Amino acid sequence: MRAWGWLLIVACSGNGGFTADAGSDAARVVDAGRDAEAPEDASVDAGEDAAEPSDPWACGPSWGARRHDDGSVEVRVDAPNATRVEVAFFDAALGTSERLRVALVDGRVHVGASELRDAGLGTPLYYGLRVFGPNWAFDPAWTPGSELGRVDDVDADGHRMNPNKLLLDPYALEVSH
């Protein structure tokens, strides 16, 4: 007996639902090596609870960074063992220092468009995360490269937080290098 595999690639529609326009590359159904077009009614209605088209969180994971229509940025991080998480913004992918660093409160932060502009940040927006934890206490005088607040490389519970290490966002939509 032959097993058949199906893959339907869909994109987020403006109403927060999912759609696949017939004839587009996103509507191809891969059927055991043969392409077949999806039917024209291949959309899934999101119903009454559909997000507004301008909601950057309408599709995809609820973590990471999203830019809003007004130019502001919202960052959401799940780090239950961290005592403090900061998002560091850069104006280039390599060879530049932080232009702005903002602490998250309850796992999220909203950075206004004017604050980004004042820091000289535009599009694309480059960012990374700095994490403090039980083994590296937050010290307001800490700067990248300093040892202030360091308790141990690894504590008894295995925490390895180190704000000197700029972390990639695992939910980032793109990685520059």
Give the residue with greater pLDDT, 24 vs 123: 123
Cβ contacts of 62 within 8 Å, gap of 6 or more = 76
Q: What is the mean pLDDT of residues 131-147?
A: 95
Q: Say yes or no: 102 and 176 in one domain.
A: yes
Residue 99 above 50 pLDDT?
yes
Q: Say yes or no: 21 and 81 in one domain.
A: no
How are strands ordered across the β-sheet holding 100-103? 100-103, 84-90, 126-132
Q: Say yes or no: 30 and 112 in one domain.
A: no
Q: What is the mean pLDDT of residues 142-149?
A: 94
Look at residue 116 and tell me if it is in a domain: yes
Q: Say yes or no: 22 and 102 in one domain.
A: no
Least confident among 1-5, 16-20, 161-165? 16-20
Average predicted confidence (pLDDT) for the chain: 74
Q: Say yes or no: 40 and 79 in one domain.
A: no
Look at residue 120 and tell me if it is in a domain: yes
Least confident among 48-62, 68-82, 103-117? 48-62
CA 37 from centre of chain: 32
Q: Say yes or no: 19 and 81 in one domain.
A: no
Query: In this structure, are residues 92 and 123 in contact, taking their beta carbons and an 8 Å threshold?
Result: no
Look at residue 65 and tell me if it is in a domain: yes
Q: Say yes or no: 3 and 42 in one domain.
A: yes
State percent of the chain over pLDDT 70. 66
Q: Output the CA torsion 61→173→138→95 (10° steps).
A: 180
Look at residue 56 and tell me if it is in a domain: no
- Mind listing the pLDDT tens digit for each residue in 15-68? 344 334 444 443 333 333 334 444 454 444 444 554 454 566 566 667 888 888
Domain count, the chain: 2
Domain CATH for 174? 2.60.40.10
Q: Say yes or no: 65 and 35 in one domain.
A: no
Q: Say yes or no: 85 and 148 in one domain.
A: yes
**Residue 169 lies in domain:** 61-177
Q: Say yes or no: 1 and 43 in one domain.
A: yes
pTM: 0.66
